[in-house]
Structure 1
Amino acid sequence: MPRGSLTLSAVLAAVLLTTAAPASAAVLPTPPTSSGPSAGAPSPAVPVTAETGFQGRASEAAEGSRSCAGTRVETFGPASLTGAIVGAAVHDGRAYVVTRGQKPPVLAEIDLATRAVVRTARLPDAPAAGEPEGGWATAVSGGKVYVGTYPVPDLYRFDPASGEVTHLASFGKNGGYIWSLAAAPDGTLYAGTYPDGRVREYDPDTGAVRDFGVLAAGERYVRAVVADDRTVYAGLLDKGKLVAIDRATGAVRELAQGTTGIGVVAEHGDRVLAVSGPALIDVRKDGTDVRNVPLGPLSLDALTVAADGTVYATSRPDGAIHRYRTGDTALTPVADPPSRDDETRRIVLTDDDTLVGFSGSGGMWSLDLRTGTSAFTDLIEAGLPAGAERPQSMLLVPGRAVYVGGHFFMDVRDLRTGEQRRFRVPGEPKDLVRHGNKIYAALYPSGQVVSVDLRTDEVRPLARLGHDQQRPWDIEYDPGTGKLLVASAPLGARLEGALSIIDPGTGAIDSYPGVIPDQSLMSLSLDSRAGVVYLGGDVLGGGGTPPVRASASVAAFDLRTRTVRWQVDPVPGMRTFQDVKVHGGLLYGVYKRDSGTWIALDPATGTVRQRGALSGYGELTVHRGRVFAATFFGGGNAYELGTDEPGGGALGPARHLATGLGDDWYTNPQLHFEPGSWQAWTMSGRHLARVDLNPRCPLLTVTPPQG
């Protein structure tokens, strides 16, 4: 079966046995065109019809009396199915991989000779609050496989002899990670954790745990660890430091300072290697002879060292293989990417001539170093159980299909046939927008924008954001200029995001980093009539350095002059806008880390017309002249904002429309309405769902399906 496209029925029929009634095959009408306010004053009055506004609410009431009594929730099976992996290890002719996104995570054993999954086990939920969804950290000690999980930082042991899985220890509370795990030559284990930025020692013989304390003030991530007989070497992501910890005394010393976060570390002989953004650091274990090898536009995501000191590395974002030896001034290409544009979780030399790698999208490959030829195995096809993951994004093509962005794959439900399919994309689609027969996806971690052909599922690269912008959060199409607009944030210890303006025909890109000074961008909303895009800021930026601003800003960016018309901080002390949406002369906004506060801002005066609280944060959407919000927390909820009546002069509180939708989005809860109705595509738990959100109906209470 080709890697580019997989039919879900062939791979995941068992998962879909509980799928509810199929979606309607009716072709739906085109949605009405909506327009927003100018940057300096509210928009002129727009004729209000039954489709667009308040004068049609009598007919809506009649519609509500009919729909409220019928079926208001339909589910269609898992929205985004995954075989993605995080941790990987090799032992005694077998590989062990751990899934990401599934609950509970799967640990799969793979026979390296046959390339088939021969055994699987689930990592059980431990007593602490929260449930594991994956295991980035894996290591082998004493013939047993150890796994560190997230978002509960727990340590597990898998015994290949008995198949038994045992929970061993917890290194924090829900929301934490064991990012990295390494075994010293004597079998002692060392774990790097988040958000406390520590290294912990675990003795497999006694179960004793030792904490080495704070390694650098303000550090949250120990992203990589390795150990020799006397020392633990740790890479710090926020502070970009490579540190050495004396295993006997616990003394900490700095070996090298990177230009950005250190996420990969390896050791061999008397040297330690670490990856810091666009450089490979090669340093003696005593901290002398520091060499910085430039990587150009690439970074490295995995290293392994041969017995003779040759270092093999995989690069990101292309996934290619390189070779390096101390004294080289650059890396030497070895082979083309075995899994192009993929993240490599681990590489291992199984003999002098064979390199085995594990791809984050859910693959395993082997490379013959003598010939440069490689072979790729899709782990789902090899027998890895697929499961429902937290979706990244969603897009409705009315009357045609629902697209759901997952981890390196897009899942599609055809509304005309009820069939489902999936195809690969080179990253996580954080947001999607449609224009004509193309969908444009903004991807993490590459900061790339790609196009997807609606007719063929063909994926083509369009542009890379550059300027360290690896987290594109929002994308819209501007019909006035024919350009794509992307709001983004940096990765790691940087604050400033960027607005990128991309020509979808040529891929030409104009970038405006720091368009809101000292803030990244989480959201944008286009007023095409006024030629203005509104930008929602985040003072925390990449999250790896202290903010210098106290309040998140909104800015109005003029698309004609390419300048900021004005900037305002609507609510002092609120640090992150999750979403902004212009409608009816007002700019609506939802704050992220501030108890779901929502506002309606008057762009003409910069004043807040209304302020209220939701259960949490999520995305806003405008439909039939109303503003809706879907939110995390409190079980997953949907609201209508600004529920005033014509001539009332004031906005009322948010109207609670639905609850119990679940908190299973990976990025932001979303609603995608079918034109001309109150039916919205969203999530119920981890299942694709269509729910009736008629504002005239009573509160809808949803019971998400299991699995």
Structure 2
Amino acid sequence: MKRIGAVVCALLFLLASATVPATAQPVPTSDPGAPRSLGVPLTDVLLIGGTVGTMSDGRRVIWSASSGTPAILNAVDPTTGAPVLSVPLPGSSGAYGVEQAPDGSVYVGTYSDGKLFRLPPGATQAEDLGVPIAGEAYVWAIVVAPDGTVYGGTSPGGKVFSWNPQTKAFHDFGVMAPGETYVKSIAYANGKIYAGAYASWKITELDPATGAKRSLPMPADVTNPTGKVVNDLRAYGDYLYAREGTPPGPLRVYDLKTGQWTNTVQNAAGLDVTPPGPDGRVWFFKQFEPGTSELIGYDPVTHAEQRTGLLAYGRIVNTRGIGWAPVNADGYPGQSIVGLFWRGLEFRYNPETGKSESIRTTIPGQPTEVLALASGAPGTVYAGGFLQGGFATVSTKDGKATYQRFSQIESILPTEQGIVIGAYPDARVYRYDPAQPWYSPEYSDEAPSGTANPVQLLNLHEHVQARLDAMAEVGGKLVTGSIPSGNTLGGTLAVLDSATGATVAIHDQFVADEGIMALTSDENGIVYGTTTVAGGLSTTPPTQSQATVFAYDVAHDKKLWEAHPSATAKSITAVKVDGLGRLWTVVDGDVYRLDPRTGRTLKVLDTSTTATAAAQLAVDGHTLYALVGGQHVVQVNTANGKWKPLFDQQALRMVYNDGDLVFANGAELIVRRVR
């Protein structure tokens, strides 16, 4: 999801592996250095926010927001799985909060732009109600009170707002929990609002009539709230349901009358529970074994669980809208439980007959922003996606892309043993053998079959790490660097055996309270890295004032030095060693040459005076290419230090491949000939 810097993110629903042509064909040009589009290599459907509700004519549908540019609010027919209405949400990339009001209005809280949208009953265009609180870029969750007032939780301020449909005015209730920068979840019950924090187990009860706030007591099994996200909240009747962490996690039940936590259901998948059925049960998915979850009914009074036999597969099976609706099919009398999973699969279950099934919806996929880019064999690059995720092998000649469904990918490193992939969350490391069929049971929604490829080598969840941003290989060892999760500070440097994948060493807080942004290596077995002072959420106050460049001796498992090239730089995002063994980085838009023995600055090339955007470096022997300020490309002769501007090309990522520079700009790949 959100990464440092807050970078946010066909007509056929993609299967677990598919070959797709680039959506934009390469543009012929007589100028070999002119930009040439390779198209969009990554396309998939991603559903996050959702609810079961009605159309203006009374038909029950599953409302669901699909991520893209822009995001789309879909109304899905639970019988056919087809969207009966699709409404763009201009300027937004996606939505976690989708709720329907008693008057039939559908409200959507979006991310990247931090807005609230309203779709009136019968309308085909959404109303942009604006940004509820200035400076809040994410609306994480919303809930609608019986009187139609909308409440929502935000970041990076950790606030709650309301929107009054009569006065059409927003109100800012302020920070819910001191020190918490996210309100990740929200619920309404008996005139009170319940707001859940992201970085620790804190639930705040807000009285919107008076503005008074109080903290709910801690559950008995939560001895240390740090790192325990209140990811989901929902209130029905006398009970508040609160689920912890990334799925699966404990779902805790709070009795609103007695003020006591009464039960915990382990391994709940989230992201929601149904309204109670006629017998008082709520329904949700629970994991009974890794990779397999099952829909269950839960009685909040007796704590009894009823299994259904409706199974869901994969690492992520949390529901994106779940509730009650009629299904016009045999075996589904009355009301059935219906909902969607993140990749557009619909599930349904009838409690009366016990019949259940899953069907593929026809919600179209959306282009995925390229977050990771790596150079492979001549004429080949590898792309990894943000949020929707996915992995693609792309030809630089014609843009032909082979797409594989996968996690959000932070980094890619081709090696002799296979292609190593750094994934979010939990700073996971995988190795993919391109000579064998791709099969990821974690990211397939079908029953497991076949041998996993890629294979997971490392998971840093227990080390409170989120993003595996950096990798390098030297001396038979794979070295990785990561960014922490939650409101924590400090990255982890891990060392793995390249041949076996076994973990050799793990160093938490390798650079005190700084996350690791980039790694590279030289022929002498030394790994060089760069850092950021920011924490996992980029809202945690840093304890360090300067980003760091460091050197690490892999064979002796020893840090050699730390250096601070700039007194002002908070993040240094690129580092490379050239063909002469010289060490280069980019600091505040300027290219620096450092002494690989000490980290001392040897030369500063004044390549930019104001650029502070994330930089990229690529090397071809004695030639260094630098992307500074996110758009200016310069060429450096590393033998003599002379440089010249080449061209402007807006991009997040840049790699060199066989005479070409390949750029990732949003969802598109662009190639420019430089040699």
Alignment partner, residue 372 of structure 2? 393
Task: Say if 2:391 is the partner of 1:410.
Answer: yes
Task: Say if 2:99 is the partner of 1:139.
Answer: yes
Separation (CA, whole Å) in 1 of partners of 2:517 and 2:295: 35
Give CA-to-partner distance per residue, 1:72-94, whole Å, 9 cap, x none: 22112223223222322211321
Separation (CA, whole Å) in 2 of partners of 1:461 and 1:341: 14
Alignment partner, residue 360 of structure 1? 342
Alignment partner, residue 259 of structure 1? 226
What are the equivalent positions in structure 2 for 1:254-293 lying under 5 Å apart? Answer: 254-256=215-217, 258-260=225-227, 261-277=229-245, 279-285=250-256, 288-290=259-261, 293=264
After superposition, the Cα gap between the structure-2 partners of 1:287 and 1:491, relative to the gap in structure 1 and judged at 3 Å, is: farther
After superposition, the Cα gap between the structure-2 partners of 1:585 and 1:440, relative to the gap in structure 1 and judged at 3 Å, is: closer
AA aligned opposite 1:108: N
Asked if the contact 1:434/1:477 (under 8 Å) is kept, the reply is no
Which range moves more in the overlay, 571-580 or 274-283? 274-283
Task: Say if 2:279 is the partner of 1:312.
Answer: no
Alignment partner, residue 174 of structure 2? 213
After superposition, the Cα gap between the structure-2 partners of 1:317 and 1:588, relative to the gap in structure 1 and judged at 3 Å, is: farther
Asked if the contact 1:355/1:368 (under 8 Å) is kept, the reply is yes
AA aligned opposite 1:271: Y
Separation (CA, whole Å) in 2 of partners of 1:567 and 1:294: 47
Alignment partner, residue 666 of structure 1? none
Alignment partner, residue 62 of structure 1? none
After superposition, the Cα gap between the structure-2 partners of 1:499 and 1:365, relative to the gap in structure 1 and judged at 3 Å, is: farther
Q: 3-state SS of the aligned residue for 1:106?
A: strand
Separation (CA, whole Å) in 2 of partners of 1:555 and 1:372: 60
What are the equivalent positions in structure 2 for 1:457-536 lying under 5 Å apart? Answer: 457-458=438-439, 459-466=453-460, 467-478=463-474, 480-481=475-476, 483-503=477-497, 505-510=499-504, 511-527=506-522, 529-536=523-530
Task: Say if 2:592 is the partner of 1:599.
Answer: yes
Task: Say if 2:614 is the partner of 1:617.
Answer: yes
Shift of 1:472: 0.8
After superposition, the Cα gap between the structure-2 partners of 1:322 and 1:539, relative to the gap in structure 1 and judged at 3 Å, is: farther
Separation (CA, whole Å) in 1 of partners of 2:594 and 2:269: 42
140, 146, 151: which one pairs with 1:179? 140
What are the equivalent positions in structure 2 for 1:549-628 lying under 5 Å apart? Answer: 549-583=544-578, 584-591=580-587, 595-596=588-589, 598-611=591-604, 612=606, 614=608, 615=611, 616-628=613-625
Separation (CA, whole Å) in 2 of partners of 1:2 and 1:170: 34
Give CA-to-partner distance per residue, 1:683-702, whole Å, 9 cap, x none: 356422211235xxxxxxxx
Separation (CA, whole Å) in 1 of partners of 2:251 and 2:529: 36
303, 306, 312: which one pairs with 1:338? 312
Task: Say if 2:94 is the partner of 1:106.
Answer: no
403, 408, 412: which one pairs with 1:432? 412
Alignment partner, residue 444 of structure 1? 424
After superposition, the Cα gap between the structure-2 partners of 1:424 and 1:355, relative to the gap in structure 1 and judged at 3 Å, is: farther
How many percent of aligned residue pairs carry the same amino acid? Answer: 24
Separation (CA, whole Å) in 2 of partners of 1:358 and 1:607: 55
- Structure 2: give runs of 5+ residues left out of the alignment: 1-12, 55-59, 219-224, 326-333, 440-452
The alignment covers a number of residue pairs equal to: 610
Separation (CA, whole Å) in 2 of partners of 1:597 and 1:291: 58
AA aligned opposite 1:122: P
Q: CA RMSD in A?
A: 3.5
Q: 3-state SS of the aligned residue for 1:132?
A: coil
342, 350, 357: which one pairs with 2:324? 350
Shift of 1:439: 1.8
Alignment partner, residue 156 of structure 2? 195
Q: 3-state SS of the aligned residue for 1:171?
A: coil
Task: Say if 2:669 is the partner of 1:688.
Answer: yes
Separation (CA, whole Å) in 1 of partners of 2:596 and 2:193: 55
Separation (CA, whole Å) in 2 of partners of 1:408 and 1:684: 16
AA aligned opposite 1:20: P
Separation (CA, whole Å) in 2 of partners of 1:96 and 1:692: 46
Shift of 1:143: 1.2
Asked if the contact 1:432/1:440 (under 8 Å) is kept, the reply is yes
Which range moves more in the overlay, 182-191 or 536-545? 536-545
Asked if the contact 1:188/1:203 (under 8 Å) is kept, the reply is yes
Give CA-to-partner distance per residue, 1:373-419, whole Å, 9 cap, x none: 8644455xx1x333333211123333453332122322333467764
Separation (CA, whole Å) in 2 of partners of 1:610 and 1:333: 67
Alignment partner, residue 640 of structure 1? 635
Asked if the contact 1:185/1:228 (under 8 Å) is kept, the reply is no
Asked if the contact 1:486/1:500 (under 8 Å) is kept, the reply is yes
Separation (CA, whole Å) in 2 of partners of 1:234 and 1:409: 32
Asked if the contact 2:530/2:547 (under 8 Å) is kept, the reply is yes
Alignment partner, residue 331 of structure 2? none
Asked if the contact 1:151/1:174 (under 8 Å) is kept, the reply is no
Task: Say if 2:226 is the partner of 1:234.
Answer: no
646, 649, 657: which one pairs with 1:657? 646
- Structure 1: give runs of 5+ residues left out of the alignment: 10-14, 23-66, 125-130, 664-668, 695-707
Q: 3-state SS of the aligned residue for 1:578?
A: coil
After superposition, the Cα gap between the structure-2 partners of 1:559 and 1:302, relative to the gap in structure 1 and judged at 3 Å, is: farther
Separation (CA, whole Å) in 1 of partners of 2:471 and 2:306: 37
AA aligned opposite 2:183: V
Separation (CA, whole Å) in 1 of partners of 2:20 and 2:181: 39
Shift of 1:338: 2.0
Separation (CA, whole Å) in 2 of partners of 1:395 and 1:690: 13
Alignment partner, residue 20 of structure 1? 26
Separation (CA, whole Å) in 1 of partners of 2:468 and 2:318: 21
Separation (CA, whole Å) in 1 of partners of 2:310 and 2:551: 44
Q: 3-state SS of the aligned residue for 2:25?
A: coil
Separation (CA, whole Å) in 1 of partners of 2:258 and 2:529: 45
After superposition, the Cα gap between the structure-2 partners of 1:496 and 1:294, relative to the gap in structure 1 and judged at 3 Å, is: farther
Asked if the contact 2:380/2:394 (under 8 Å) is kept, the reply is yes
Shift of 1:322: 6.7
Give CA-to-partner distance per residue, 1:657-699, whole Å, 9 cap, x none: 221x335xxxxx2222222x2x2122356422211235xxxxx
After superposition, the Cα gap between the structure-2 partners of 1:385 and 1:375, relative to the gap in structure 1 and judged at 3 Å, is: same
AA aligned opposite 1:155: L
Task: Say if 2:81 is the partner of 1:115.
Answer: yes
Which range moves more in the overlay, 179-188 or 442-451? 442-451
AA aligned opposite 2:284: Y
Shift of 1:552: 2.2
Asked if the contact 1:338/1:375 (under 8 Å) is kept, the reply is no
Shift of 1:2: 7.8
Asked if the contact 1:412/1:420 (under 8 Å) is kept, the reply is yes
Asked if the contact 1:314/1:344 (under 8 Å) is kept, the reply is no
TM-score (norm 1): 0.77
Shift of 1:565: 2.5
Asked if the contact 1:462/1:504 (under 8 Å) is kept, the reply is no
After superposition, the Cα gap between the structure-2 partners of 1:208 and 1:350, relative to the gap in structure 1 and judged at 3 Å, is: same
After superposition, the Cα gap between the structure-2 partners of 1:275 and 1:210, relative to the gap in structure 1 and judged at 3 Å, is: same
Shift of 1:485: 2.1
Separation (CA, whole Å) in 1 of partners of 2:500 and 2:216: 45
After superposition, the Cα gap between the structure-2 partners of 1:113 and 1:248, relative to the gap in structure 1 and judged at 3 Å, is: same
Asked if the contact 1:180/1:192 (under 8 Å) is kept, the reply is yes
Give CA-to-partner distance per residue, 1:591-644, whole Å, 9 cap, x none: 5xxx435432213233212344643213222123222223454xx332335x46
